[in-house]
Amino acid sequence: MATTNQTCRDTVEKYIAMLTDDSKTGADFTALYAEGATVEDPVGSAQLSDAAAIEEFYNAIPADRAATLRDLRTVAGEAVFSFELTMNFPDHKMTIKPFDMMVINEYGKIASMRAFWSDEDITFG
């Protein structure tokens, strides 16, 4: 069965909603991923390829955060989207504006996530 565009949209919208929900932990994010999934965030960094590493990656995001989906395109089981993520740390606030690319399986699980951003896409304040 092929992954529908609606399945891709639903997965991305759930991902963004979880980025705004301060009760969600790395384990919750890891549950969005398929077995054997990979994460490369940002592109060019070491690729994460096991559930423990993906969970640790998401646990590093502070609970005090908010995300807004800006634009989304889906086709043939893949999604590309831009969003804004604001993270509040004890001593500063950081906003990042990445473009993410996901491959999503027919069950709505993320098989691959690659985040496109650099220092130029981060603001502090």
Q: pLDDT tens digit string along 75-112?
A: 999 999 999 999 999 999 999 999 999 999 999 999 99
Going from N- to C-terminal start, the domains of the chain cover 5-124
3 touches 104 (CB < 8 A):
yes
pLDDT of residue 40: 99
Classify the C-alpha dihedral 71-51-106-17 as positive or negative: negative
Phi, psi of 88 (to 5 degrees): -100, 115
Amino acid at 33: Y
Over the chain, what is the mean pLDDT?
Answer: 98
The Cα 59–Cα 30 span in angstroms is 10
Note if 100 is an active site residue. Answer: no
pLDDT of the residue at 19? 97
Is 41 considered catalytic here? yes
> Which of 22, 33, 41, 119 is labelled catalytic?
41
Q: How confident is the model at residue 67 (pLDDT cuts 50, 70, 90)?
A: very high
Q: Is 5-124 in CATH node 3.20.20.70?
A: no
